[in-house]
Chain A
Amino acid sequence: DVKVTQSSRYLVKRTGEKVFLECVQDMDHENMFWYRQDPGLGLRLIYFSYDVKMKEKGDIPEGYSVSREKKERFSLILESASTNQTSMYLCASSSIQGVKLREQYFGPGTRLTVT
């Protein structure tokens, strides 16, 4: 079974703090993704990575950065947390078949509250 783990299920941080969210997958997947999910807005892609040290912006990258130093690990960084970054953060990974993205597997999510 594919396993995607995230470092924390719940996190409470103060405005202005630097926040690290870690994601690890054990299936040697090329692609990893960070999303946030808010009521009524669905899943929104923040960043994704298709290889080690490679990253691309998603739909809402502002206020976030990412790091992928090893294939199995993809980190999301909030440089200076703000209250509008309170959300559920979901990490996902997937493999590719030729040029086709295969299905994604999600971690359990981190519910971040910024006060």
Chain B
Amino acid sequence: RKEVEQDPGPFNVPEGATVAFNCTYSNSASQSFFWYRQDCRKEPKLLMSVYSSGNEDGRFTAQLNRASQYISLLIRDSKLSDSATYLCVVTFYGGSQGNLIFGKGTKLSVKP
């Protein structure tokens, strides 16, 4: 069974802190990787794709480690507005096009 695992948290951090989330996946034939953000009672929204060489978007850095089968998200200088649930998504090659699995999410709470 293909699995995507995340630490559910919650991660409670002060403003300005650096926080990192990991997400492990079980299928080595994984193709694409994404981080989504979901605010309370809202739909998930794409935060960033994760590229093999790692990528950065402002305060956010995403990395992929294929050998150890995990992706990570680093948030620097946390803001109150970063409080949300962060979902990792992994797509798998082959078979039906439903080969996409969401982790259950990691809840982040940034406190003043």
Chain A residues with Cβ below 8 Å from B87 are 42-43
**Distance in angstroms between the alpha carbons of A56 and B95 in the assembled complex:** 11
Please give the number of chain B residues whose Cβ is less than 8 angstroms from any Cβ of chain A in the complex.
23
Please give the number of chain A residues whose Cβ is less than 8 angstroms from any Cβ of chain B in the complex.
24
Chain B min CB distance to A58 (Å): 6
Supposing A56-B96, A100-B31, A100-B32 touch, asked if A42 and B46 sit within 8 A by C-beta, the answer is no
Interface of chain A, main secondary structure: strand
Supposing A56-B96, A99-B93 touch, asked if A41 and B104 sit within 8 A by C-beta, the answer is yes
The segment out of B37-45, B53-61, B63-71, B72-80 that lies at the interface is: B37-45
A-contacting residues of B (Cβ < 8 Å)? 31-32, 34, 42-46, 49, 87, 89, 91, 93-94, 96-100, 102-105
- B44, A43: Cβ atoms under 8 Å? yes
B-contacting residues of A (Cβ < 8 Å)? 31, 33, 40-43, 45, 48, 50, 56, 58, 90, 96, 99-109
